[in-house]
Amino acid sequence: MSTMIVTFPGGKRVDAEYGGFTVRTDQPPQSGGEGSAPQPFDLFLASIATCAGIYVKGYCDARSIATDGLGLAMHIEREPGKARVARLVLEITLPPGFPETHRQAVVRAADLCAVKKHILNPPAFEVRTA
């Protein structure tokens, strides 16, 4: 089992130490924070988009397909009147000259994202005091 350590460096900031890295978060000023870092939920969304992105990049790299101009955008649709996300749409921008025969395969590669797989088949959660 590995362990992520969460610390509270002041204000509304909450940091996570894991794998030799510090992931910093904060709340926006309207929520009492300084806006000095992304909110935790923004990092959750970024983990989905960047995970899909690395699968797309890996697909292209493994086949020596040029990635100049390759991009990925994630559109976030929220439920009307709620803060809850209703749908995420990943849109891959293919570079000029991208091989037509690989278009559907690169979409399938993005769909392999490990973060997405964990959302669809979530781990068990247990919260307790030490």
CATH code at 84?
A: 3.30.300.20
Question: Using one digit for the tens of pLDDT, what is the confidence trace for 26-65?
Answer: 999 999 999 999 999 999 999 999 999 999 999 999 999 9
Q: Are residues 21 and 44 both part of a single domain?
A: no
Q: Are residues 60 and 103 both part of a single domain?
A: yes
* C-beta separation of 113 from 55 below 8 A: yes
Q: Are residues 43 and 21 both part of a single domain?
A: no
* C-alpha pair distances (Å), 120 with each of 36, 85, 112, 126: 31, 15, 12, 18
Q: Is the pLDDT of residue 1 over 90?
A: no
Q: Are residues 94 and 68 both part of a single domain?
A: yes
Domain residues for the domain of 74 are 39-120
Q: Are residues 51 and 9 both part of a single domain?
A: no
Q: Are residues 14 and 76 both part of a single domain?
A: no
Give how many domains the chain has, as a whole number.
Answer: 2
Domain membership flag for residue 127: no
In angstroms, the CA 53 to CA 72 distance is 6
pLDDT (mean) for 74-91 = 95
Percent of the chain at pLDDT > 70 equals 100
pLDDT (mean) for 96-123 = 97
Domain membership flag for residue 76: yes
pLDDT for the residue 83: 85
Q: Are residues 47 and 16 both part of a single domain?
A: no
Q: Are residues 91 and 76 both part of a single domain?
A: yes
pTM summary value: 0.92
